[in-house]
Amino acid sequence: MELRLHNTLTRSKDGFRPLDPLNVRMYVCGPTVYDHAHIGNARPVIVFDVLFRLLRRLYGEAHVKYVRNITDVDDKINARAADRGISIRDLTEETYRWFREDTAAIGCLPPTVEPRATEHIAEMRALIEKLVAAGHAYVAQEHVLFNVPSMPDYGQLSRRPLDEMIAGARVDVAPYKRDPMDFVLWKPSDVGVPGWESPCGIKTPGRPGWHIECSAMSWRHLGETFDIHGGGIDLVFPHHENEIAQSRCAFHTGVMAQMWLHNGFLMLEGEKMSKSLGNFVTIRELLEEWPGEVLRLAMLSTHYRQPINWTRQGLGFAAKTLDKWYRVVGEVEAEGGEGNPFEHEIAERLSDDLNTPSAIAHLHHLAEVAEHEETSSALRRRFKGAANLLGLLGDTEDGWRARAKAAIALDEGVIAGLIAERLAARKAKDFKRADQIREELAAKGIVLMDNKDGTTSWEVAR
Ligand SMILES: [Zn+2]
């Protein structure tokens, strides 16, 4: 089985060959912790969790290191803490706790390391001083800036035309820049804003620019070069381009990461998600209405590189699918990786640039196969093991799963019989009995829906 991934750096689907198969290393840009994460933020978290699971499956759990940082120093954080009248530490701690709870609820494994920017200031200073010493950065008015023209092949990842990059950089024009494209590595902090000892002999305390954080944390935890760097497509320019410039120029290497993976945008009901348009939804708001696993399956139903259109209808489909799959697996234990042919078939589909829609289509097929098995539970155990590779049908308990299990205990034939009895009661205008049946089923976690055509369907309550 060969893992092939679409590499933004080469614009092609490349075979994945780790620098060291005993130490496969992946870095993904994490959240800036100042508010609840929105559903767009959940996309890279889920996508790279699937890749993390697949890499563990292919190289062994002990041989994969996944680093996802936490940006806990940022002007948005400072402003929000001041607005709320709380300390920066309290704000970042609270927000980080929400993020951990939300990502656990959508079935994501914790990364191997979750480094915080504020705990890596010394590495950032060291990197900045290396860049200044090598002539790639300079000090101006207590700032340190990266000098873009000092790197002849700057721009390989985004491949943007030079005039476009200059136009983008002009937004942030400052008199101390030697070149309009130069970007900030370090800046001075005013009184009342977090500040640390500055590099390069600058007297005023200061704080890092955003890009340098990721170069410092990936260096500390993964080394000068590593295998995979991931994030949302919106990070390609300038963030990832600038990470590459910093790391390659500091360490004199040809690449920062061998492969760069980017997930596509998320649209909400066909429109761009925007706070100002009120078209905005947090993971937490969705979790109040749907189990996390439904969000996960809905997200994975679109290939990670495609834009995803996030709709209530999509969530409804995912919920129905999971209801069915939980009925199929019942109480069986999952059959683990090696030797489970179903799981192997899913791993093969994921190895083709994380083709989750194909993997999910195959799970539908496997569910049919397992459902019709009457003699033993072997196929159902295999089906469950295959779904586990996508982080689905896991054994952690939550309310919805408990209710789904209660529904499984209720024979489908019994439910159908009660529905027929209720329809007959309604026909005979015995509404008391009809309501009684509805309540009886509701108590067991079954919700009835009366359709326009006079039939009644049911689903497991959420
Ligand atoms: Zn980053």
Rounded to an integer, what distance in angstroms lies between the CA atom of residue 325 and that of residue 387? 9
Q: 19 near 227, Cβ under 8 Å?
A: yes
Ligand 1 centroid vs 247 CA: distance in angstroms? 12
| Residue 225 neighbours by CB under 8 Å, 6+ apart | 19, 251, 253, 255, 256, 257, 258
Ligand 1 centroid vs 324 CA: distance in angstroms? 39
Ligand 1 centroid vs 110 CA: distance in angstroms? 18
- SS3 track for 100-140: HHHHHHCCCCCCCECCEHHHCHHHHHHHHHHHHHCCCEEEE
Please indicate if the annotation marks 384 as binding a ligand. no
Ligand 1 centroid vs 401 CA: distance in angstroms? 36
Please indicate if the annotation marks 136 as binding a ligand. no
pLDDT tens, N- to C-terminus, the chain (462 residues)? 899 999 999 999 999 999 999 999 999 999 999 999 999 999 999 999 999 999 999 999 999 999 999 999 999 999 999 999 999 999 999 999 999 999 999 999 999 999 999 999 999 999 999 999 999 999 999 999 999 999 999 999 999 887 787 776 666 678 889 999 999 999 999 988 899 999 999 999 999 999 999 999 999 999 999 999 999 999 999 999 999 999 999 999 999 999 999 999 999 999 888 777 778 899 999 999 999 999 999 999 999 999 999 999 999 999 999 999 998 998 889 998 778 999 999 999 999 999 999 999 999 999 999 988 766 789 999 999 999 999 999 865 554 555 555 555 566 778 888 899 999 999 999 999 999 999 888 877 788 888 888 888 888 776
Ligand 1 centroid vs 29 CA: distance in angstroms? 4
Ligand 1 centroid vs 47 CA: distance in angstroms? 16
196-209: burial string, b at 16+ Cβ within 10 Å, e else: bebbbebeebbbbb
Is pTM beyond 0.75? Reply is yes
Please indicate if the annotation marks 275 as binding a ligand. yes
Ligand 1 centroid vs 197 CA: distance in angstroms? 23
Please indicate if the annotation marks 214 as binding a ligand. yes
Provide the 10 A C-beta neighbour count for residue 319.
21
Please indicate if the annotation marks 243 as binding a ligand. yes
